[in-house]
Amino acid sequence: MNSDNAILQVQDLCIDAIDRHGKTISIVSNINFSVVAGQVISLIGESGSGKTTISLATMGYTHPSCKIRKGKVILQGEDLLSLDLSQVQSKRGSDIAYIAQSAAAAFNRALTIGAQVTEITVLKGLMTRQQANKHAVSLYKQLDLPNPETIGELYPHQVSGGQLQRLMAAMAMMCKPKLLIMDEPTTALDVTTQIEVLQAFKRLIREQNVAAIYVSHDLAVVAQMADDILVLNNGKMVELQSTQNILNSPEKEYTRMLMEAVPQLQLSSTSHQSSTTNIDMQDSDHDDPEERCLTNLLTVSNITATYSSNGTVVLKDVSLKVKMGETIGIIGGSGSGKTTLGRVISGLMPPSKGQIELQGRVLKNTYKQRSLDDLRQIQFVFQMAESALNPRHRIRQILGRPLEFYLSMTGKAAEERIIELLDLVELPANFIDRFPRELSGGQLQRINFARALAAEPKLIICDEITSALDTLVSKAIIELLINLQQCLGIAYIFISHDLSRVAKLADSIAVMRYGEIVEFNSTDKILEPPYHEYTELLLNSIPRLRTGWLEE
């Protein structure tokens, strides 16, 4: 940490939030760090730890309801916080650039990519349009984008999510900034795309010699990118160390906790085996393993599904069996059809061929034709709890409705059951009268899951329910799922792109690609060599918790 040639120095930064009644709450306090050119510092912490707030403050910006109480943000010897708005604005986009979490949301769908990538430089008069276009093409090349000469003429929806994220990096690098801020740039991407993007970013930072701030909750990703890691908790610095030191000898308890929460795949090693056998043994305490193996709950046979609008085949001849009380993991990259499979089973999307049987009875194709009891038996848990729960309903109504609807339970009995359900998902009973916006992401996901439990189903389909949550919270949710299965004997179909997480709870795993199941086997077999070629690619794409893995 040499502060003499640092591009950016943050000194004693404190930020307050001001709520509607004018009360101030300190959300970030006493932050000190600096970055030199060509180096990456990573801010890591749970959601709400203030990492995004700090990264925005390094651009001299805060959310309108926040205020920088004190501190300095010194960019190349100049304190950004002492400048007025127009001076700071002249720095943004030329000296400082920002890459947002979701490129899909940050691009304007109505303009071509090229126009948006070059917009700021041309607007600021730093380059003419021709120069800008030429520079953009060279950046596309550096970022390994396909057809660098013509990709700028496409619209955002015509390229993939990973490409869009790299295009956003190109947009950020257009003005040759001194400081690059990346806010969870790969969180929305699946593992195989993630590594491509990470590699492209890393090379770009080295070649352009910029100082970078990388915000993430994923220690394994950060381990690949960062030279230094700043661990944050509740807006305070926990520790600031080089990546090597943090990974090898974390000083603080909290850092160790974060590291333990990173799901680690131990391929056919002893510790994984012992943990699965452990779960199996616990299972057998509750129900007879013989019986469990015999009863088939759900049989999906030869399902083919197409989008009616353009005839694209999204599922090809998919077959799957789920037994009572077991967990099937479905993994695959984005666009592999794993979510569609879940939607077909729940009746949200009718298949064009094939049939689904629940306990020997053939289910109707769409939810509209299915009986109330069939609907009750299969519950679907949506990925984003924030949008899956009606913001205007209290928890009482959210959980009470399936009770009333399926089980005709109202009044006192329903209230007792709601409290029981809250207890099952480890939430306090006084949440019953809260609105969804008063809960955190992890708590919302628990409510979302409790709503499925309320119907007393045989099968719950979980669609990427942990992918929007940070590591510690999703670890807790997975543990909750395992515990509940042991008590209630519900079967899960767990859809995810994260193999390491699925391996933690699934009895069997189906690997999907291009709408087909390429491999379907018990978890142990999947994780044992010889691997299927695509499974191996997925396994190798999971970032490992050590430095230098990305280069390998």
Partner 1 sequence: MTKMQAKSGPFRDLLQNLTPTAIICLLILIGLILLAILAPWISPHMPTKILTNESYQLSSDTMLLGGDYLGRDMVSRLIYALRITLGVTFIVTVLAFFIGCLMGFLAAVLGGIWDTVLSRVVDALIALPAIMIALIVIGALGSSLPVLIVTLAIIDSTRVFRVARALAMNIVVSDFVEAARVRGEDLKWIMWHEIMPNALGPLAAEFGIRFTYAILFMSALGFLGLGIQPPHADLGLLIRENMQGLLFGSYAPLYPALLISLITISINIFVDWYLQQLDTALPNEF
Residue range at the interface with partner 1 (CB under 8 A); choices 131-139, 202-210, 311-319, 401-409: 401-409
Q: What does each C-alpha distance from 333 to 132, 146, 305, 492, 526 come to in angstroms?
A: 34, 19, 18, 20, 17
Q: Which of 125, 391, 529, 530 binds partner 1 (CB under 8 A)?
A: 391
In the complex, what is the shortest distance from the CB of residue 339 to partner 1, in angstroms, rounded to a whole number?
12
Count of residues engaged in binding partner 1, rule: CB under 8 A = 33
Residue 543: DSSP 8-state: P
Q: Measured from the CB atom, is 272 or 376 closer to partner 1? A: 376
> Which of 145, 89, 88 lies closest to 120, judged by CA?
89
Q: Which is nearer to partner 1, 158 or 387 (CB)?
A: 387
**Nearer to partner 1 (CB atom), residue 109 or residue 392:** 392
| Closest distance to partner 1 from the beta carbon of 389 (Å) | 6
Least distance from partner 1 to the Cβ atom of residue 300, Å: 17
Residue 407 CB, nearest approach to partner 1 (Å): 12
Closer of 391 and 529 to partner 1 (Cβ): 391
CA distance 552 to 548: 7
Q: Can you say how many angstroms the Cα of residue 382 is from the centroid of all Cα atoms in its chain?
A: 14
3-22: contacts with partner 1 (CB under 8 A): 17, 19-20
Of 221 and 345, nearer to partner 1 (C-beta) is 345
Per CB under 8 A, contacts with partner 1 among 299-358 are: 346-348
Q: From start to end of 340-411, where are the E strands? A: 353-358, 361-362, 378-381
Question: What is the 3-class SS of 48-74, one letter each residue?
Answer: CCCHHHHHHHCCCCCCCCEEEEEEEEE
Cα separation, 454 vs 448, whole angstroms = 10
Residues 6+ apart with CB under 8 A from 445: 385, 465, 466, 468, 469, 473, 477
| Nearer Cβ to partner 1 (20/157) | 20
Q: How far is the CB of 448 from partner 1 (least distance, A)?
A: 9
Helix (H) or strand (E) holding 338: helix 338-346
Q: How far is the CB of 43 from partner 1 (least distance, A)?
A: 16
Structure tokens at 507: 């009895």
Give me the least distance between CB of 435 and partner 1, in Å please. 8
Residue among 367 and 531 whose Cβ is closer to partner 1 = 367
Q: How far is the CB of 61 from partner 1 (least distance, A)?
A: 13
Instruction: Identify the CA nearest to 449 among candidates 500, 389, 376.
Output: 389
- Distance separating alpha carbons of residues 71 and 200, to the nearest angstrom: 34
Closest by CA to 140, choosing from 159, 122, 120, is 159
**Nearest 5 degrees, angle CA 301-CA 305-CA 310?**
170
Compare residues 66 and 424 and give the one whose CB is closer to partner 1. 66
- Closer CB to partner 1, 255 or 379, in the complex: 379
User: Which residue, 430 or 440, is less far from partner 1 as judged by CB?
Assistant: 440
Only one of the segments 82-90, 153-161, 272-280, 390-398 lies at the binding site for partner 1 (rule: CB under 8 A); that segment is: 390-398
Q: Indicate left, alpha or beta for 456 from its phi (over 0: left) and psi (-120 to 50: alpha).
A: left
State the Cα–Cα distance between residues 140 and 147, nearest whole angstrom: 9
Q: Which of 405, 514, 531, 549 binds partner 1 (CB under 8 A)?
A: 405
User: CA-to-CA distance for 425 and 260, rounded, in angstroms?
Assistant: 22
The runs of H, that is alpha helices, within 395-532 are: 395-407, 411-424, 441-454, 471-488, 499-505, 523-526
- Per-residue string for binding with partner 1, 359-388, x by CB under 8 A? --------x--x-x--x----x-xxx--xx
Taking the C-alpha atoms of residue 544 and residue 222, their distance in angstroms, rounded to an integer, is 10
The answer for residues whose C-beta is within 8 angstroms of residue 462's C-beta and 6 or more apart is 381, 449, 481, 492, 493, 494, 495
Over the window 269 to 288, marking each residue x when it contacts partner 1 by CB under 8 A and - when it does not, the resulting string is --------------------
User: Residue 355 contacts by C-beta under 8 Å, 6 or more apart in sequence?
Assistant: 301, 302, 303, 362, 363
Task: Candidates 311, 392, 529, 551: give the one binding partner 1 (CB under 8 A).
Answer: 392
Binding track over 45-74 against partner 1, x by CB under 8 A: --------x---------x-xx--------
Interface residue with partner 1, options 124, 321, 393, 396 (CB under 8 A):
393
Binding mask 496-535 for partner 1 (x = CB under 8 A): ----------------------------------------
In the shown chain, the binding pattern of residues 412 to 451 toward partner 1, with x for contact by CB under 8 A and - for none, equals -------------------------x-------------x
257 lies in the binding site for partner 1 (CB under 8 A):
no
Residues that bind partner 1 (CB under 8 A): 17, 19-20, 27, 53, 63, 65-66, 346-348, 367, 370, 372, 375, 380, 382-384, 387-393, 401-402, 405-406, 437, 451, 455
